[in-house]
Structure 1
Amino acid sequence: MRTVTKVIASVAALAVVAGAVAYSQRGAIAQRMFVRGVTAAMATDPIKQLPDGLHVILCGAGSPLPDPTRAGPCVAVVAGQRLFVVDVGDGAVRKLGMMGINASRAEAVLLTHFHSDHIDGLGGFMLQHWGGGASKAPLPVHGPQGVEQVVAGFNEAYKLDSGYRIAHHGPGVMPPSGIGGVALPFQITQGGPSAVLIDTPDLKVTAFPVDHAPVEPAVGYKFVYKGRTVVISGDNKPSKRVEAEAKGADLLVHEALSPELVKIQETAALKGGRINLAHVFADIPGYHTSPTAAAAIAQAAGVKMLLLDHIVPGLPFKALEIPFVGDARSKFSGPLQVGHDGDRVSLPANSDKIETGSALRF
């Protein structure tokens, strides 16, 4: 027994010593891990690793309201090897970086409307598109009428910054021809036909009007690639148009606002004397969609999966997703997921499979 006790004591002592050594060397250990991680990240293109198909990645599942785990609205869509980004909210560029996705990889940005939370990351995205790959042409930015003003504003705001970077890094690294973005507007009217943005044998991308009054115009987007379909609602109140566009879709990415939780915020604001903020909380449910209503739309459209994004209010801990969803799951017979940054839904080409996972690396 004494021998066993001595062995245990010796092992414990060695463990303490090893722990102490590791602790004293923690900076060097962390640096070695950093080297390995950075080397692997720079050598890997996560998009090339995806199988042929249509893939949706949430680069921002949040809204203007604070949420520690969700960046501003952003949906990355990969069709084969073509990358498109729908809306670019604050923090979305950093989240894409955490996934190893370089903004220079993007073929275009598609804006649903011009609320600040959907465009306030556009300047940073343009910069990363330019500098991340020595792009020789500006970033194409599709959007309904008004997108010209938005893009011109960001180009002007970043004009001084662009000059500094060319002077510092040189035109070989930062080609002057690749600065900023170029607006590609399309005309769309409430109740009118869809606008076709891309129409090739494998990929079709269309924009359709949604009701987000008084925000006008506002659109959603539909991607069809090799037999798979994704519809992104953008911001809107419950809409028959979204239901019609999503008919039979594999995936509907729909915005969601919990009136019950927002009402709690309104009440708290009133009690705290934040009258103006209380008024905002009272207003916003009127032009958004509840999880229950989004689920009903998905069910009526025969959608295979529903992914909720643009989560309002922020959900600082996961248990809040239970009251947020409410009875939505009883309204939709398919899988329903509350969106988090990094969520990935993959739809392999010419298949009926739906695969889910996370694109975040750390």
Structure 2
Amino acid sequence: MKLKKLALGLGLLAALGLALAYVYRAPLSLAIASRVATAHLAADPLRELPDGLHVGLCGAGSPFSDDKRGGPCTLVIAGPHAFVFDAGNTSVRNLGRFGLAHGRIEAIFLTHFHSDHLDGLGELLLQRWVSTGNAKPAPVYGPEGVQDVVDGLRQAYRADSGYRIAHHGEATLPPGGFGGEARAFTVPQNGPLVLLKEGDLEIAAFAVDHAPVHPAVGYRIRYKDRSVVISGDTKKSAAVTREARGVDLLVHEALAAPMVGLIGEAAAKAGRPNVKKLMADIVDYHSSPEQAAEVARDAQVRYLLLNHIAPPLPLPGMEAAFLGRAGEIYTGPLRVGIDGDLVSLPASSPEIRHQRRF
């Protein structure tokens, strides 16, 4: 009897607690939200990473709509430095999900000027400015033509920047920090061009074959004793093999032609000949997963991370179909990239760590 009374009393207390929580749900939720916001703004999880190179996919996809992969974007943390390579449509959101304060970005590097590689650039430049009140614009490195891109975005965002300065004041948003500073370069056909060299850090660009898109480049990043190559969009390229020789990590684009062909066939049946033609055309200036594996094998890289994944892989089993024979060709660690992937290369260590950040 006593146990029944105790149980009844505890039940009543629980019910009362739930009732009070419901009545005061608004102030309680605001109190929790305040604590979460403070913790989020104070946190900098990327600074907790060990010294070394860290490569995150803030966009592992292509122009295809893909719930798991946004437009091309790669985050590189090199010791205390933070860089972004390409700026597709989910760049700002996914960089935030990595825990990066956008104001920390020291420079942005573009591989070429297809829209899917830069349609998030305007917002990224804006967030870099407003989130930290940077007094200087972000350097934007790219092949010849990058000046037009940066100038066009400055013009498109000019009214917006004026509103913000008028509203918040120049002390909060220094006018000189708005937009980007274009840094155009021309790479030789037979070797890399060093763009940035500072202490233990070196970033170089090299030409790749994405014809008729020209110029198009890939990048090689070295920090202390660790290294990574980002292929950019390219056919199978001897230049990528050359620059990736012996690197710890190769981030290489991949398109599965048979799967793209299925989309073309479906488009033909649906009476959409333009889409069928597009699907036929895009195959000839990208690399297949097997070709990316051949590059990784021949260059003797230690880890292959595929990005710019085309087409999307929404169903179970599609990843195996996408890879084809790639896993037989390259027998090292191989991953089909997805937004939130982070590969860490700690300095003074042979270790390669993969983790999911979101």
Range into which the TM-score falls when normalised by the shorter chain: over 0.9
SS in 1 for 2:113: coil
The equivalent position to 1:261 in structure 2, one of 259, 262, 276, is 259
Q: Does 1:338 align with 2:336?
A: yes
Q: Does 1:161 align with 2:165?
A: no
Counterparts of 2:11 and 2:208, CA distance in 1: 66
SS in 2 for 1:67: coil
Q: Once superposed, what is the RMSD of the aligned Cα atoms? A: 2.3
- Mapping 1:58-69, distance limit 5 Å: 58-69=57-68
The normalised TM-score by structure 1 is 0.92
Aligned to 2:354: 356
Q: What is the CA distance between 1:47 and its match in structure 2?
A: 2.4
Counterparts of 2:97 and 2:276, CA distance in 1: 35
Aligned to 1:40: 39
Counterparts of 1:57 and 1:298, CA distance in 2: 19
Aligned to 1:296: 294
Residues 208 and 28 of structure 1, relative CA distance in 2, 3 Å threshold: same
SS in 1 for 2:332: coil
Residues 317 and 105 of structure 1, relative CA distance in 2, 3 Å threshold: farther
Deviation string for 1:232-282 (max 9, x for gaps)? 000001111101111001000001111121111111111111111111111
Aligned to 2:84: 85
SS in 2 for 1:141: strand
Deviation string for 1:24-75 (max 9, x for gaps)? 7766665454333322111111221111000001111111110012111000
SS in 1 for 2:187: coil
Residues 126 and 19 of structure 1, relative CA distance in 2, 3 Å threshold: same
SS in 2 for 1:48: helix
Give the letter aligned to residue 113 of structure 2: F
% identity of equivalent residues = 49
SS in 1 for 2:132: coil
Aligned 8 A contact 1:90 1:120 in 2: yes
Residues 310 and 14 of structure 1, relative CA distance in 2, 3 Å threshold: farther
SS in 2 for 1:262: helix
The normalised TM-score by structure 2 is 0.93
Q: Does 1:110 align with 2:109?
A: yes
Aligned to 1:232: 230
Aligned to 1:150: 149
Structure 2 gap segments, 5+ residues each: none
Aligned to 1:279: 277
Residues 21 and 303 of structure 1, relative CA distance in 2, 3 Å threshold: farther
Give the letter aligned to residue 325 of structure 2: D
Structure 1 runs of 4+ with >6 Å offset: 2-26
Counterparts of 1:27 and 1:288, CA distance in 2: 52
Number of aligned positions between the proteins: 358
Counterparts of 1:84 and 1:246, CA distance in 2: 19
Give the letter aligned to residue 117 of structure 1: D
Give the letter aligned to residue 171 of structure 2: G
Aligned to 1:202: 200
Counterparts of 1:257 and 1:13, CA distance in 2: 61
Residues 37 and 321 of structure 1, relative CA distance in 2, 3 Å threshold: farther
